[in-house]
Every structure is written in C-alpha cells, then in structure tokens.
Amino acid sequence: MPKLPPRARALAATAVLLSAALAACGDGDDGGSGRASADQRLRWKDCPPPSAAEGGGGAPSPLPGGTAWQCATMKAPLDWDEPGGDTIDIALIRARADGSKDRRIGSLVFNFGGPGGSGVTSLPAFGGDYAKLRTRYDLVSFDPRGVGRSAGVRCMDDRRLDAYFQQDATPDDAAERGTFVGNVKSFNEACEKNSGTVLPHVRTTDVARDMDLMRRVLGDDKLHYFGISYGTELGGVYAHLFPEHVGRAVFDAVVDPTETPEQGSLGQAKGFQLALDNFAEHCVSQAAPDDDCPLGDTADDVKGRIAKLLKDLDAEPLPGLPPRELTQTAATNGIVQALYSQDFWPYLTEGLQEAYDGDGRILMLLSDAMNGRDDNGSYSNLSAANVAINCADDKPRYTTTDVEARLERFRAASPLFGDYLAWGLLGCSGWPVPGAADHPDVGAAGAAPVLVIGNTGDPATPYEGARKMAASLGKGVGVEVTYKGQGHGAYDSGNACVRQAVDGYLLDGTVPRAGTVCA
C-alpha cells in the first residue's frame, strides 16, 4: 500500500520477473566491543546471497572491471534515547573507489527509497549507473533499520500475504469495508506480535542518526549522500538534524516534505493519473502509420478500456499465476508498478492486451514485483517495513469516515487510482506505535548546498515536491534543477544535462545554477 515501492528494488525486480515470464549484507561483526560506538571497526567481507527479507537471489556480481562488492555489519543503538543500551545490526554494502587514492573524496551513501527498500540489494542492481561517481567515491548503501538484515520487521507469513494482497482494496459497500478494515487490523496485529520490540524505533529520525554514526564509522568528516524517492525525505531529515555534517548531497525524485499523508496520497493520485494519461497518449501517437495503438483508437479509449477491465475484475477475477487469480487490486498494483518507468510501458501494453484476452499473468507479475514477491512465492519484508516506517513517522490516523468524506476529491484527482489511494490511508489505523509528526522537518540552515532534482512526469513523487523541498531546506541550501521527462527519478534516465549537473557537483563541487532546466 502507498507510500509506494523503492525505485531500484521495484524496477530491478520487475525486469527480472518479466524477463523470465516473457522469454544482491553479510553477517559481519563489529570487530570490537560489540557496542554501538563510533570507533567500531567494520569487517568487510565478500557478500553472501541476499536474505529472504532482502528479496533473495544470488550474491551480487562484480562490477565491470572486476571490483567486488563487500559487505559488513555496523552496530547501532536500538533506542537512540538510550545509546548505551541494546544494539541492532545495520547491514552495509560497498564498492571501493577505482580512481587514484589522492583523488578519493570519501564514501557516497545511497538510499533508494520506499521506505522499506534494501540498499544492500538495490545498489548492486544499479551500480553500473554510478560508475563515474566511483572514480572519487566508495559507493555505499545499507538496509535501514526495520529493513532486510537490519532488524527487519516481520508481519504475516507468505501464505497470508498472498491473501492480503489479493483482497479488495477499494470496498464498495459496508460489508466490503468491514472486511477491508478487518484485514488491515490483522496485518497490523501480526506486525506487533512478530516485531513489537523494533516498531517504536524505525522512525526516519532514527535512520538519520544511524547514518551519522555510519559517517563516523566510515571515517568521513561529512556525509556525502545520494537519496532517491523516500531517500530524499531521509536526506532532508538528516540535514535538519546534522546540518554541519552535510557534504555534497543530491536528492532525486523528491518527496514533498510539507504534505500530510492525505496530501501526499492525493498528490500521488494526480501523479499516477498524469503518468497514465502520458502512457495512453504515447501509445496512440507512437503507432505506426498503417497501424493503431493495440489498446485503443484514442487516448480516452485506452483509458476507458483500462477502467472497464478493472471494473470487470472487481466482479470476476481472471486466471493469473495459479492458484492465484488477477483481482482488481492486483491489476491496479501492476498498472501502478509499470507507470514508474517508461521502460516498462511495453510490458504494460502487453499485460493489458493479454488481460483483455483473459490472461492475467503479466499484470500479476508486475503486481508481485511491487509487493516484493519472488517467483517462488517468498516475500521480502518490503511491505512490512514500508508500513512500519510510515506509521512510525506519520501522526495522522484515518478512519473509514475520513476516507468516505475524501473519496470525491481523490476520484476527481484520478478516476482510476483515486479510490485505491484513498482507502490506502487506513494502513496505519490501529497501529501500536504513535506517529511522530504531520510531516518531516527538513529545515537545514547553514548546511552545504543540496542538489534537488524534480521530474515533471514523475508519478510517485510529483514535480511540485522538489520546489517545496528546496524552499524548506532553506535559502542557499536547496538548489532546484528541473528535468522534463517521464518516470520516477531523473539521474537514471541517462539525460546528459542531469548527469552533468549531478556529476559536476558530486565529483568537482560545482553547484549548478538554481532553476536549471534539463529536457
């Protein structure tokens, strides 16, 4: 349920699953006292295969040129208010810089978003995208607390999760609403039962404190940072707490830090509707002269057929991946997943074509990728961590009455996704830990410049959020750059202008002109 999945994990999982259909950190030790001190010594080792909670799969392959990925474990306090108390392990991964030692700046720490995404699996999946940055930095990422190997939150088992993600998430009457609310309650109770000790300690402020400890353990005076999606919120919170330790930082696919959960979900409704509009227009406009878009004659026709498919699935699911069926919720998940990147629009086109012919497999594969389910039926802890972190961060608790009063606004924002995102507001109902605030504090007066990149076609973190983030960071801190493109994020689009702005700052310290526009 929204907030939606981390860019790298979502896209990498989709590519792997669909390639198959259509044809990754280690348990180290602190090397010292076992306490969460800044002088602990990391023992870097070859990385093992990712754990089930991280998404499974094989050990990460070396980078081109032969550089191997290394993994280690850092000790951090379970409760930052009691730093001398119990500790948890934070799983780290790195690839050493390949440039000369006198040119090395330090470590560049990545968070790929979610919240709930494993950085230990995401960084190797996209390591090639950051090859130029490795000329002056060790590339480093981690599983944030509550995620993967870092005291990962556990809720339901795989069998129960299959049923949970098949449920009707857009209830139409009192009986369906009761079932939906009951399912949310069962999920949240399972989280408390299986992970109650860690749930109060997975707030973004806790992770930001972990990152400052990580900075010191890695031996850096400043935190050089690349945050994507939710990673921009984490980066903003870090900058607020530790402005004097901010080094060269880039925020890409930027979360609006001024919004409540309701406002954020409403913005996503508009964002995914815009992405769907762009997808439909692209299908029609790119059709060959003597051919038609396979999904409809006009953009409105394309969207109308999708809406009809979802309505029909509400009444009668299609065969999916046996024994599971493609339900309305699974199909909506799959469509949302494919809208994250223009690279996956062809999969969405084929998935819709097959669904119209009675075959729901591709849309279900897309849905599985969004939910962190592999082809063996095992789930990562992506969804559990996502809920736990959101609910620990977000103070508002919504009721069915609240949702019903807001449905029309959500439907106006998106006829297709409005109900889905509105009902998602109930995810923290009855959560055992109170939320911290209405929205994060990211004011960072005195910090070094932070490059803030907004993408005009971003569905999950709408473009307007970049300007709000830049303003909230403070005058002289947030430096806004606009990318006129499609998909979630800008740097991985390969756009030369965006790459030049980011690489110029991270590698050479050159701050681009505020208001730079890349097309």
Query: What are the catalytic residues?
Result: 229, 458, 488
Neighbouring C-alpha atoms within 13 Å toward the C-beta of 331? 31
Rounded to whole angstroms, the Cα distance separating 273 from 275 reads 5
Q: Are 385 and 392 in contact (CB under 8 A)?
A: no
What is the DSSP pairing of strand 516-518 with strand 478-486?
Answer: parallel
Q: Report CA-CA distances (Å) from 432 to 188, 193, 385, 509.
A: 8, 10, 14, 45
Rounded to whole angstroms, the Cα distance separating 125 from 343 reads 16
Q: Are 262 and 474 in contact (CB under 8 A)?
A: no
- The first and second tokens of residue 101, run together, are 């030692």
Q: Are 428 and 405 in contact (CB under 8 A)?
A: no
Q: Are 391 and 424 in contact (CB under 8 A)?
A: no
Rounded to whole angstroms, the Cα distance separating 251 from 483 reads 13
- The one-letter amino acid at 176: E
- The first and second tokens of residue 349, run together, are 């086109």
CB atoms within 10 A of CB 155: 24
What is the DSSP pairing of strand 45-46 with strand 70-77?
Answer: antiparallel
Q: Report CA-CA distances (Å) from 242 to 131, 180, 470, 516.
A: 28, 41, 17, 27
C-alpha radius of gyration, the chain, whole number: 22
- The one-letter amino acid at 90: I
